[in-house]
Amino acid sequence: GEAVRTKLRKGVEVFPCLVLNSNQAVYCGQHWNSNPRFLNAIWLLKCSLPVIRPGTSRGGSGRRWHWAFATPEYKVVVLGSGGVGKSALTVQFVTGTFIEKYDPTIEDFYRKEIEVDSSPSVLEILDTAGTEQFASMRDLYIKNGQGFILVYSLVNQQSFQDIRPMRDQIVRVKRFEKVPLILVGNKVDLESEREVAGADGRALAQEWGCPFIETSAKSKTMVDELFAEIVRQMNYATLPEKQEQCCTACVVQ
């Protein structure tokens, strides 16, 4: 097992699994599973001798063994006040289109495959409500999330002020300071109407020890880079502490 693990990238566990016939059932340790999506990586073995599944009399045979990897899946939660562009950013990333009309979100869920640094991943993105009447639902969103995108509008100073208690809520629910998180100033296409200086965003990111990005959902400025960076942050979070290599606070450009 240890010899096998050294061949894999750090942070990925490998499990030896035995394949039976063509129904994709596998034997993992002491458990049979017909669809082992919970595994980060599996080592599939095909045996040259008949193999009997416990509790059955049927056997199967094969001729070779090979590697197979399950694509890692990450749960990303997008938080911010109403009207800052959370949905517009998410939809622009997922579909490549811009939402012109503002329609307050209650909860929307998106799923998209992404390749970051030559490694594929699947993002499950939860676009949350920004209005105060749904604030009580945030604890549940945060509890289930693995990475967080905190969005404010560059043209709305109050939305910037609203970000701090949301980050405090993440730390409270997760009971951990170093949560994968990115601070985002959206609507950079409205530069002439800016109310929040870039220096203010960078200073807050420095305080939190997280990356800072200014984006535009309308022009798609830094949108793909934003979601690629949150994947990196979640990847770094799975590495041993001595292996971590991300910045304590950086500006993605």
List, for residues 146-186, the tens digit of each pLDDT value. Answer: 999 999 999 999 999 999 999 999 999 999 888 999 999 99
Distance CA 100, CA 81 (A): 18
Residues 106 and 172 placed together within one structural domain of the fold? yes
Residues 43 and 91 placed together within one structural domain of the fold? no
The one-letter amino acid code at 78 reads V
Instruction: Answer yes or no: is 204 within a domain.
Output: yes
Single out the residue of 180, 184, 208, 206 nearest to residue 196, CA to CA: 184
Residues 137 and 203 placed together within one structural domain of the fold? yes
Instruction: Answer yes or no: is 86 within a domain.
Output: yes
Distance in angstroms between the alpha carbons of the first and the last residue of the chain: 41
Residues 106 and 55 placed together within one structural domain of the fold? no
The whole-model pTM stands at 0.69
Residues 223 and 159 placed together within one structural domain of the fold? yes
Quick: pLDDT tens for 101-110.
877 767 889 9
In the chain, the number of structural domains is: 2
Instruction: Answer yes or no: is 134 within a domain.
Output: yes
Distance CA 181, CA 16 (A): 34
Instruction: Answer yes or no: is 162 within a domain.
Output: yes
Residues 53 and 159 placed together within one structural domain of the fold? no
Residues 92 and 164 placed together within one structural domain of the fold? yes
